[in-house]
Amino acid sequence: MRLRILLVFFLAVAVATRASDNPAIVKGTDQFEFVYRVKLPEIKGEARVWIPLAKTDAFQTVTKEKLNIPVKWERVQDRDYDNDICVLYPQPADSGKTIEVRYRVVRKEKAAYSATNADAERYLRPEKLVPINETFRTLAQKATAGKTDDLERAKALYDHVMGRMRYDKSGTGWGRGDAMYACDVRTGNCTDFHAYFIALARSISIPARFAIGATIPADKNEGTIDGYHCWAEVLADGRWVPVDISEAWKNPELADYYFGHNPANRFELTKGRDLVVNPEPASGPINFLAYPLLEMNGEVIKPETTFTFRRIGA
């Protein structure tokens, strides 16, 4: 037993040493300003917009330095995950206005952390695009054959997804976090990788959950961020274990690191899928919330959205 503990320790040190030399990640702590900016289109008729408002938690301290929201709005929370959400009620006179939320963030690198028993049940339930069915159960059982505990089984699923899927944003259907699409087509972005992983884990009774936000570039100190990024966590041995399979696929030298860690250059906007909010969108529960959801006369419209950052103290 003592030999096994020492081996695990030295492997962890080796992984951390390799990861610390990689320009894609920031170890320890990162500090940055993050600006979330949305330009409203021409408003014709009844319109509403749902925008995430990031919160402080154990791994990020968030200060909202500026909320420039020059339209009627209110702050609400979703029913199941307590995400803060800004709901806007723009009028035709608000056409072309810019909404800007400026954050100051101190973010810590995340490793496995303690969970409570109350966490487990919620994260075994299916979601609209993350069902639990015999297809996932059969694949998961095959991938985890011979594994004896949840951590080993979760790692086997991680390896399975990374080996089965390819990061590819061509064609249509990707980017919705549709686990069946990912399973069948075997391509997609981060939402598809992690939807497939979460469906597999839940199908064999391993709780798993979703979060979304952005990766802050580690190799520069300011600029524009090319879109959102999402990741997952699995519950094993009484701890939540961070998992980022799409980044591991793109950076195979970090595959060991990304099972069990999120680097400090991350910013989380919301948690969970199928967000139930009041007022509710005409399109129903929100699939996930990183970019704004804008509905006009019941139709979903994509407004111009940009994320920018500036590292503090660089």
pLDDT digits (tens, 9 = 90+) for 246-283: 999 999 999 999 999 999 999 999 999 999 999 999 99
- CA distances (Å), origin 259, targets 152, 213, 268: 11, 18, 18
The whole-number average pLDDT for the span 12-28 is 63
pLDDT at residue 314 in the model: 57
Question: Is 70 a member of any domain?
Answer: yes
Q: Which of the pair, 294 or 118, is modelled with greater confidence?
A: 294
Q: Are 76 and 183 contained in the same domain?
A: no
The whole-number average pLDDT for the span 131-154 is 97
Does residue 118 surpass a pLDDT of 60?
A: yes
Q: CA-CA distance, 310 to 34, in Å (whole number)? A: 7
Q: Are 101 and 188 contained in the same domain?
A: no
Question: Is 170 a member of any domain?
Answer: yes
Q: CA-CA distance, 260 to 155, in Å (whole number)? A: 9
How does residue 308 score in pLDDT terms, banded at 50, 70 and 90?
Answer: very high
The whole-number average pLDDT for the span 171-185 is 97
Does residue 197 surpass a pLDDT of 60?
A: yes
pLDDT at residue 15 in the model: 44
Q: CA-CA distance, 229 to 242, in Å (whole number)? A: 14
Question: Is 41 a member of any domain?
Answer: yes
pLDDT digits (tens, 9 = 90+) for 124-134: 999 999 999 99
Question: Is 6 a member of any domain?
Answer: no
pLDDT at residue 70 in the model: 97
Q: Are 120 and 254 contained in the same domain?
A: yes
Does residue 13 surpass a pLDDT of 50?
A: no
Q: Are 87 and 124 contained in the same domain?
A: no
The whole-number average pLDDT for the span 100-123 is 92
Task: Tell me the two tokens of residue 20.
Answer: 């610390």
**Structural domain span for residue 36:** 29-108+274-311
How does residue 11 score in pLDDT terms, banded at 50, 70 and 90?
Answer: very low
How does residue 10 score in pLDDT terms, banded at 50, 70 and 90?
Answer: very low
Q: Are 93 and 143 contained in the same domain?
A: no
Q: CA-CA distance, 54 to 213, in Å (whole number)? A: 9
pLDDT digits (tens, 9 = 90+) for 282-298: 999 999 999 999 999 99
Does residue 221 surpass a pLDDT of 80?
A: yes
The whole-number average pLDDT for the span 193-215 is 98
Return the closest-CA partner of residue 40 out of 302, 224, 286, 287. 302
Q: Are 37 and 80 contained in the same domain?
A: yes
Q: CA-CA distance, 30 to 268, in Å (whole number)? A: 13
How does residue 24 score in pLDDT terms, banded at 50, 70 and 90?
Answer: confident
Question: Is 188 a member of any domain?
Answer: yes
User: Total domain count for the chain?
Assistant: 2
Any idea what the CATH number is for the domain that residue 89 is in? 2.60.40
Range 79-98 burial, b when 16+ CB lie within 10 A, else e: ebbebbbbbbebeeebeebe
pLDDT digits (tens, 9 = 90+) for 31-53: 999 999 999 999 999 999 999 99
Question: Is 161 a member of any domain?
Answer: yes
CA 161 to chain centre: 17
Least confident range of 117-126, 164-173, 203-212, 231-240:
117-126
Return the closest-CA partner of residue 263 out of 113, 34, 62, 110. 110
pLDDT at residue 185 in the model: 97
Task: Tell me the two tokens of residue 238.
Answer: 């009484």
How does residue 8 score in pLDDT terms, banded at 50, 70 and 90?
Answer: very low
Q: Are 229 and 256 contained in the same domain?
A: yes
pLDDT at residue 119 in the model: 74
Q: Are 50 and 68 contained in the same domain?
A: yes
pLDDT at residue 183 in the model: 98
Measured on CA atoms in the order 15, 21, 24, 30, is the torsion positive or negative?
A: positive
